[in-house]
Structure 1
Amino acid sequence: MMSKWLAAAAAIALLGAQTAPAFAAPKSASASATVRIDKQRIDRALAEMVSSGRAIGVSALVFENGREVYFGTSGFADSEAKRPMARDTLAQIFSMTKPVTGVALMQLWEQGKFGLDDPLARYLPEFGVTKVFAGTDAAGKPILKAPDRPILIRDILRHTAGFGYGPGESFPEQEFGRLDPIPLKLDIDLAEFGRRLAQVPLLFEPGTRWHYSAAVDVQALLVEKLSGQRFEDYVRDHVLQPLGMRETGWTQPEGRFGRLAAVYAKKPGGTLDRVPDADNRRLNFAPKTLTMGGAGLASTVDDYMRFATMLLNGGNLDGVRILKPSTVKLMATDQLDPRVTERLWLPGKGNGGFGIDFFVRTGQPKDAQENRGTLGEFFWDGMASTLFWVDPANKLTAVFFVQTVPFDGSLHRDFRKAVYGPDYLGPKGD
């Protein structure tokens, strides 16, 4: 049962550096607190995550001004084998794949391959006939209609297209389950994924709601269409290899399996049970056809820190330009219209909105329960409770690895509190 659950969840993924960053903090900000990294405080927080039974093993890496100021671990990558979390431990990062996909697509935007407000169907014609679910008629049959406006590329960048992310009770979710655009075996290609998803009715009119979705897999399909390369090959050639992320990928050499952290699933009573190795092996060490844009990467803390540092530096790392500073700033700017008030669980991430494949903080934490963070920061996380963020105001980046499912936001709360201190509010905007 656990094996089937993880396979389903994983398939849809419900969840030397430069020292002079080019991407500056908001000009309107004025510091109201100073960040002081307290190594012992972070060590205690990591140890408590394990001792409390919320995690089997954790690791964390923090950079300030492009230099390491903290690395620590607690617990095991594999409890049964007594293999501790280590610097070279590989972890499934699930939805932390999404920002990598977004960077790849925005490279093509910089090349003039598309416009943000272009209709998606201009490049992927199958989405030109996608309908919107408009309720049911007197006989209980679904009413499907053409959308009031086309799905725009901007919509697939900010989860406002109307797509779902798996089977459920509504008619569009039932159709998602029937058409199965992201099958468990990952045995279709991105083109077939697109053909199937385009037949699933939209949950709402494009641009009217925020709803976490398969849109980032559509981004991956668009990368293939515009670049002429397989998505996995494009990302390897234009993002991962130029950044020196040599141990990050959808497909890993067999010899690395012994470094992969086991995933642990929380039972109703709160105990953590190991997910069978076959599920971990299936995602990165077994043949598959579908490379998802929204999930599937395995990485190390150091590799992913290189990605985070590139973003802090405005798209540059070690003299290699991945994106322009203006493009990173665009991605890290809230793209949601104030009229988009239905935002699913997004407000639980903090006081902010959503940019291009990132949550974006637009104000100080509102209360003591909210995660500590800084105005202007941007971040995302993963289904197994992994997290990273970029804090331009403090020139700080952080990567947190753990393999606990389902997603446990309390781990992020405690890690952020340990990094910033419990009372930190950061810069105050206008």
Structure 2
Amino acid sequence: MKLLGLALVGAFTLAGCASIPAAPDVQSASFSPDCARIGSFLDSAVAQGRTVGASAFVWQGGREACFEKAGYASREENRPFARDTLVQIFSMTKPVTGVALMQLWEQGRFGLDDPLYWYLPEYEGLKVATGLDESGNPVLRDPSRPPTIRDVLRHTAGFTYGGSDEPADIIWERPQPLSPDNTLAEFSLKMAQVPLVTDPGTRWNYSASVDVQARLVEVLSGMAFADYVDANIFTPLGMNDSGWKRSEADLARLARIYITGASGALEPMPREAWLEPNFAGKPMTMGGSGIVTTVDDYMRFARMLLNEGELGDVRILKPATIRLMATNVLDPKINAENRSWLPSKGTGGFGIDFFVRTAPPQSPEENRGTVGEFFWDGFPSMLFWVDPAQDMAVVFAAQKVPFDNPLHHHFRDAVYGADYSGVAPE
């Protein structure tokens, strides 16, 4: 992931040759993470009741720089957070799905600006919902253009996740596309029944588009999504503890998810509520969630990104493809008002399934980080990032909901220092 760079707004072309900004000529600063400070932060976060347990893994300069842990994977079983603790990463699944689909792009299976319906015909004829009539049916109009695969990759297709009072979200509640009882094929057919919230390419709207990406992987590869990822990402990278389909035996290593109760104390979520669908024996294999892994395994994925697509003698993607994924590709006309909560991640934009930092932190309240970093996080306060300018990748594991951005802010302070400028000196 590292090299990536930059956060320049870049256009790319369709097939094998992308028009991508060259990686910046940045030399790493003399910065190195303070492992004692990181460990102290984890201890204090547990002691203050901000999380029941956590671990942090920092890789820099081609070696393990820090591994720290604190607290419990299961407080009720008196089971400490350990190096091999399994965690549910929720939306940190999304970058894995993006890598899988971009492997197929490199093979020429599709073009980024191809209409989505060329490959998933159920999406032909999508409409934009502008309101609801007196009977609760959507008022529809034609979109300005069909969504493309590029839109699906950057959350600009006009899709939704449901959960708001927008007309399209109200319609979402009827077919329930992401019900765990659906297969990905069934999800896609139901998703196509939900109108768009806006014209494609005009708004960044976090959505089930990464689950659409997963269905594209199935159709383009002829393989079940989880099988494709296992064969083409997990197995080549040696991520032997990662996957959607788990067994009862894994529960002995699985961290419990804790939720902030009415009193503010962290309480264990009931088992039926905290297990992802495949762990609970459901058919849905989401592209946007569902992977169970360890910090060591996920760091292998992050190191591949940092090394521009390779780990050891295994190449997963070409360097140019990684740079493309880690380049801000949101059109300037998609301004802050049209980016939902994305600006809360920092000063930057979005690439392919990654937030991309385009400028140093603008205030003490903004999370620390380096220009050119790319990252994503997950609902139970999971986080990882790749910082090419510092030749560094970081994985932070916690299992606490709701999502805790202040926890991430203070963790980044522990990694970088609260006064880190965000620009690695030349």
Common topology (TM > 0.5): yes
Per the TM alignment, residue 416 of structure 1 is displaced from its structure 2 partner at its CA by 0.7
Q: What is the match of residue 287 of structure 1?
A: 281
Amino acid at match of 1:392: P
Shift of 1:285: 3.0
Q: In the alignment, what sits opposite 1:278?
A: 272
- CA separation in 1, counterparts of 2:408 and 2:164? 28
- Alignment check: 8 A CA contact 1:22 1:325 kept: no
Q: What does residue 127 of structure 1 align with?
A: 123
- Matched with 1:303 is 297
Match of 1:349 in 2: 345
One of 177, 180, 186 as aligned partner of 2:176:
180
Matched residue type, 1:43: G
Say which SS state the counterpart of residue 255 (structure 2) adopts.
coil
Contact 2:303 2:311 in 1 (8 A): yes
Matched, 1:368 2:364: yes
Equivalent of 1:235 in 226, 229, 233: 229
Number of matched pairs: 408
Structure 2 counterpart SS, 1:55: coil
Contact in 1 for aligned 2:4/2:322 (Cα 8 Å): no
Cα displacement (A) at 1:135: 3.2
Q: Distance in 2 between matches of 1:358 and 1:311?
A: 11
Is 1:29–1:427's contact at 8 Å kept on the other side of the alignment?
Answer: no
Q: Supply the distance in 1 between the matched residues of 2:123 and 2:401 (Cα, whole angstroms).
A: 33
Counterpart residue number, 2:263: 269
Q: Using a 3 Å threshold, how does the CA distance of structure 1 residues 326 and 143 change in structure 2: closer, same or farther?
A: same
Deviations 1:26-57 (A, max 9, x none): 56566796422111111111112112211000
Amino acid across the alignment from 2:3: F
State the distance in 2 between where 1:429 and 1:24 align.
17
TM-score (ref. length: structure 2): 0.92
**SS of residue in 2 equivalent to 1:62:** strand
Greater alpha carbon shift after TM alignment, 106-115 vs 123-132: 123-132
1:41 to 24, 37, 44: 37
For 1:219 and 1:412, locate their aligned partners in 2 and report how far apart those are by CA, in whole Å.
Answer: 28
Whole-angstrom distance in 2 between the partners of 1:193 and 1:150: 20
Distance 1:378 1:121, change over 3 A: same
CA shift, 1:192, in A, is: 1.1
2:315 equivalent to 1:335: no
Among 99, 102, 105, which residue is 2:98 paired with?
102
Q: Say yes or no: does 1:317 pair with 2:311.
A: yes
Contact 1:284 1:298 in 2 (8 A): no
Deviates further, 348-357 or 164-173: 164-173
Per-residue deviation, 1:254: 2.5
From the superposition, tell whether residues 92 and 22 of structure 1 become closer, same or farther in structure 2 (CA, over 3 Å).
Answer: closer
- Provide closer, same or farther for how the CA distance between residues 25 and 141 of structure 1 changes in structure 2, counting only shifts above 3 A: closer
Change in Cα spacing, 1:428 to 1:391, as seen in structure 2 (3 Å) is closer
SS at structure 2 position matched to 1:178: coil
The residue number in structure 1 matching 2:11 is: none
Corresponding position: 1:218 with 2:218: no
Q: 1:391 to 1:208 in 2, by over 3 A?
A: same
The alpha-carbon distance between structure 1 residues 136 and 289, as it changes in their structure 2 partners (threshold 3 A), is closer
Residues 270 and 261 of structure 1, relative CA distance in 2, 3 Å threshold: same
The amino acid that maps onto 1:69 is: A
TM-score (norm 1): 0.91
Q: Hey, what does 1:23 align to over in structure 2?
A: 3
* 1:7 match: none
